[in-house]
Amino acid sequence: MRAVTVCQPYAELIAAGVKLVENRTWPTKYRGRLLIHAGRSRDWMSTRVVDGVEFCAHTQKPVDLLAFGAVIATVTLLDCLPIEEIRAGKHDDRFPWLNAHEHTEGPFCWIFDKGVTRFEKPLQYRGKQGLFDINPLDLQRIAAEQALRATSHNPS
């Protein structure tokens, strides 16, 4: 399955169904299901500390609750459009909300369907640049390994 690494907090906003546009400097011809991998970098995240807890300014969640270096959701990539066409209104009939969406910045806007599927637990995985493939069987194996580690640390 195809995947893309997105820095936090934007990966979280996509997984929450809030961010329906991912901005890239490069276009893609790919359309269809896409895994969202939350990158390890914290460079894009602004935070604030309240009572000793660090919160992400964009999501209002404690930073400790955000996943880093993990696959967290799947979305459907509907289209990839240049910002100039969006600003010129060329896609208003298909995506009437797009021009006003707070994350429509470009230069290329990857448009996601609202039907996001968030994983119950983030699956630790090393990301890559560009679109990359992840074998669904690898994700199943990682989920099983993580569950096994969790049960071995918490015996009942």
Q: pLDDT (tens digit, 9 = 90+) per residue, 130-152?
A: 999 999 898 888 888 888 887 87
Give pLDDT, residue 62.
85
Q: Are 13 and 75 in contact (CB under 8 A)?
A: no
Of the pLDDT bands very low, low, confident and very high (cuts 50, 70, 90), residue 108 is: very high
Reported in sequence order, the residue ranges of 64-107 that DSSP labels E, i.e. its strands, are 70-82
Report residue 99 as tokens: 């021009």
Give pLDDT, residue 153.
64
Q: CB atoms < 10 A from the CB of 24, how many?
A: 16
Of the pLDDT bands very low, low, confident and very high (cuts 50, 70, 90), residue 156 is: low
DSSP conformation class of 153: H
pLDDT tens, residue by residue, 20-47: 999 999 999 999 999 999 999 888 788 8
Q: CB atoms < 10 A from the CB of 103, how many?
A: 15
- In the chain, where the domains are located: 2-40+66-153
Instruction: Report the predicted TM-score, pTM, of the whole model to 2 decimal places.
Output: 0.89
Domain 2-40+66-153: CATH class, spelled out: mainly beta
Q: Which residues touch 88 (CB under 8 Å, ≥6 apart)? A: none
C-beta pairs of 103-106 under 8 Å, 24+ apart in sequence? 103/10, 103/13, 103/19, 103/20, 103/21, 103/22, 103/23, 104/21, 104/23, 105/21, 105/23, 106/23, 106/82
Give pLDDT, residue 69.
96
